[in-house]
Chains A and B, each alone.
Chain A
Amino acid sequence: MRVTVLLFARPRDVVGASRLEVDLPDGATAGDAFEALVRRAPGLADMKSRIRCAVEGEYSNWQAPLRDGSELALIPPTAGG
């Protein structure tokens, strides 16, 4: 299956893209998608504890299952205001 990953702020700079399509085996979770990104951009690994994931625009967790066409956003620490 193929999922879309949205990146912002520092994680986007580290990966070098704001949007990526990632191919994953069926049954993959948000955490699996993150590990696939770490293989492309090892610098992401250290940031995982500070990144929240959002699936289809809602905060979720790394165990959340993805499906073909899912949109996963990596949300680094927020800094509005």
Chain B
Amino acid sequence: MAERSPDALTREPIEVGHLTSGLAGAADGAIATFVGVVRDNQDGRAVQRLEYEAHEPMAEAQVAQLVSNATRRWGLSAVRLRHRLGSIGIGEVSVFIGVASPHRAEALEACRWLIDTLKAEVPIFKKEYYVDGGTSWVEEGTGDAGPG
């Protein structure tokens, strides 16, 4: 299998401040970040928590590939990406993407591309647990299926 990003997946809380600090070097003019958080509703149904799982070795390899592609395409200085696995509650961070580059346009575009491509391609799966006791695997299909 291809090179992996061994720290891309975590079962610990994601510390946004910690991941953002030190991301930019002296020659960088921009850090763009995307932070995904768990929302308390989906299609009008009250959500209690989410559970994420992954094909972990494949996801780590895919993330490494995405980071490498984005770095090359936009000339990025640094990329940090973490996705949470396991059970996570409302308001908690599910994913962090941070990108540093000399100028803002590249950082913003790359950040958007990374989250959209992660959602569509990286084998991470999400189960919603509702306040009413029901559960559902989220199967929005591939591509950017909408908010969140």
A residues with CB within 8 A of B: 6, 8-10, 13, 50, 54, 56-58, 73, 75-81
Contact = CB atoms under 8 A, between A and B. Distances in A.
Interface stretch (B11-19, B23-31, B132-140): B132-140
Contacts of B123: 8, 54, 73, 75, 78
Interface residues of B, number: 31
A73 B57 CA distance: 11
A55 B2 CA distance: 13
Given A77-B142, A78-B142, A57 B53 contact: no
Interface string B111-141: 0000100111111111100000000011111
Nearest to A47: B139
A78 B121 contact: yes
A77 B124 contact: no
B140 A77 contact: yes
Given A77-B139, A77-B142, A79-B138, A8 B58 contact: no
A78 B120 contact: yes
B22 interface: no
Given A8-B55, A9-B53, A57-B1, A76 B125 contact: yes
A9 B118 contact: no
B1 A78 contact: no
Contact of B125 (A6, A9, A56, A58): A9
Given A8-B123, A9-B125, A80 B140 contact: no
B64 to A, nearest CB: 12
A54 B58 contact: yes
A10 B139 contact: yes
B36 interface: yes
